[in-house]
Every structure is written in C-alpha cells, then in structure tokens.
Amino acid sequence: MTRSELINRVYEELEGYTRKQTEIIVETFFDALKEALLRGEKVELRGFGNFKVKTRKPRKARNPKTGESVDVPERQVIHFKAGRELRELLNSR
C-alpha cells in the first residue's frame, strides 16, 4: 500500500472531510511518528506494534566484489515489533 492509497482508504472511511483534509491528517500522523523517533522515543500503537530506534554497533564487513575488508560505522536503525493482535491475525491466515 502506498501513501496515496492509504490517504484514499482513510478518505473513504471518514465522512465530512475533504480529500485534502484527509491528506493533512495522514501526513500529520507520519510527521508525529518521525519526530518521536528522531527524539529517540518509542512509539507504541496498541494492537499494531512498536517502533523503536536501535543502535547497531560498528563492524567489519566484506566487499563481495573485491573480497576486501570494510569497516561499517555505528548507525541508528528503526526496529518494528508487531503487536500481539497483528501477529495473531497474520498467523491465523
């Protein structure tokens, strides 16, 4: 599902809002999610899952073309853990 498909889906569910207003609602949600993650906060959406920023330690890797050893620096990644309800829905199919 793309962002525009999500906006259309929310638009169809909401009554009394224009498509532009619905787009602003969805964009505001994503902006709030991004801002919380940038501050290092955990974002918990009950029934859906948790988003959290984790730090990956620096490590040695290998360039597959040359076989040369490469240093990979420390970096931050977003980790998503599905909530119980979502996991159960996925596994009951």
Summarize pLDDT for 46-92 with one digit per residue, the tens. 989 999 999 999 999 999 999 999 999 999 999 999 999 999 999 99
Tokens describing residue 63 = 């360039």
**pLDDT above 90 (res 93):** no
Q: Could you tell me which of 35, 32, 36, 79 has the C-alpha nearest to residue 55?
A: 79
Mean per-residue pLDDT, 31-55: 96
CA dihedral (72, 74, 78, 81) in degrees, to 10, reads: 90
pLDDT at 84: 93
Mean per-residue pLDDT, 12-34: 95
3-state secondary structure of 30: helix
Half-sphere exposure in the Cβ direction for 11 (13 Å, CA): 14
3-state secondary structure of 37: helix
pLDDT at 71: 94
Quick one: what percent of the chain has pLDDT higher than 70? Answer: 100
pLDDT at 73: 96
pLDDT at 13: 94
